[in-house]
């Protein structure tokens, strides 16, 4: 590209100035289309901010840095490739996925393997095709969850509820829990028993305890174990939450619950990490998963 320098004029200069204004190094009133002293100083300051040698002219390297810094989330389709996508939109994606409980790596503005993995988990969680591509449907899902991530940092701390608040949550939210094998049915039943023991008016119940079919507004929660043959073969059909990373489970459940209620029949899947917890027996393992899952649902709701 041709170098853009002091005293140059035209659309290219205006584009540079607009980008400098977008990142906060130049005032909107200084976007004139003429590369003046103020523009040169703003460019040098921008270069310093992004770790480049301070430059008072726009060459290929400074232009690439300016373009990267002015991408916003949703401006382009992102996916894993070589060379990696990098830029402010990637950083925003990492921050959003972190606030929702999916991205636990460094926020380096580089779309690498860790970011793709976090994106795939988010997509599966929302019932979207888990292809690792940030496109129109993924951006729409992220925008719908803006209230859950805007202005929030990555969270790795479990949410703890007091008895009164948990009891209120149990009474206000109707969930039907069910499993498709002996272990997952045991977890669902134990969750229901724990909920009823906490609040006899609980509306979080297992399918086995229902005497009639679940009503239309009831969220169906399918608990599956990974070794259950054919328990769940189409993960992309409904929101699917993996139990892993227990500390962020409430955040991920919250996003999946919201996505589930956007469907004609509210339904979601929770996949257990296994049928054994820390070498415990079947009953103790089922009880542990029931307790932690119910706590996470209460926090999410």
pLDDT at 81: 86
3-state secondary structure (DSSP) of residue 208: helix
pLDDT of 86-126, one tens digit each? 999 999 999 999 998 888 777 889 998 889 989 998 999 99
246 vs 143: which has the higher pLDDT: 143
Q: Say which residue the tokens 């926020």 belong to.
A: 107
The predicted model scores a pTM of 0.72
Query: Smallest Cα–Cα separation from 155: which of 253, 52, 249?
Result: 249
pLDDT of 37-95, one tens digit each? 999 999 999 999 888 999 999 999 999 999 999 999 999 999 988 888 999 999 999 99
Where do the H-state alpha helices sit in the chain?
11-22, 37-49, 60-69, 88-99, 113-125, 136-144, 146-149, 163-172, 182-198, 249-260, 282-300
Contacts (Cβ under 8 Å, ≥6 apart) of 119: 93, 97, 102, 132, 133, 134, 138
Contacts 24+ apart (CB under 8 A), 278-285: 282/183, 282/186, 283/186, 285/183
What letter would DSSP give residue 9?
Answer: B
Contacts (Cβ under 8 Å, ≥6 apart) of 235: 124, 130, 269
């Amino acid at each position: 590209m041709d170098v853009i320098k002091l005293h140059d004029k035209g659309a290219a200069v205006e584009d540079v100035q607009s980008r400098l204004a977008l990142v906060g190094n130049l005032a909107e009133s200084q976007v004139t289309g003429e590369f003046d002293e103020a523009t040169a100083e703003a460019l040098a300051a921008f270069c310093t901010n992004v770790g480049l040698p301070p430059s008072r002219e726009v060459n290929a390297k400074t232009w690439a840095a300016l373009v990267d810094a002015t991408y916003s989330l949703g401006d382009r389709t992102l996916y894993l490739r070589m060379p990696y996508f990098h830029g402010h939109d990637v950083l925003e994606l990492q921050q959003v996925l972190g606030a929702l409980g999916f991205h636990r790596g460094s926020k380096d503005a580089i779309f690498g393997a860790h970011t793709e993995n976090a994106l795939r988990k988010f997509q599966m969680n929302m019932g979207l095709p888990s292809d690792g591509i940030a496109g129109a449907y993924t951006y729409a899902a992220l925008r719908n969850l803006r209230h859950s991530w805007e202005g929030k940092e990555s969270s790795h701390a479990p949410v703890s509820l007091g008895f009164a608040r948990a009891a209120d949550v149990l009474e206000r939210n109707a969930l039907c829990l069910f499993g498709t094998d002996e272990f997952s049915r045991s977890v669902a039943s134990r969750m229901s028993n724990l909920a009823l023991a906490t609040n006899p008016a609980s509306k979080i119940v297992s399918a086995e305890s229902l005497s009639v079919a679940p009503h239309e507004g009831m969220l169906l929660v399918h608990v599956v174990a990974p070794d259950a043959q054919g328990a769940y073969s189409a993960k992309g059909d409904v929101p699917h939450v993996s139990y892993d990373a227990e500390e962020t489970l409430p955040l991920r459940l919250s996003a999946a619950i919201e996505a589930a209620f956007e469907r004609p029949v509210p339904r979601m899947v929770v996949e257990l990490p296994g049928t054994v917890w820390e070498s415990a027996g079947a009953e103790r393992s089922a009880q542990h998963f029931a307790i932690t899952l119910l706590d996470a649902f209460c926090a999410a709701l």
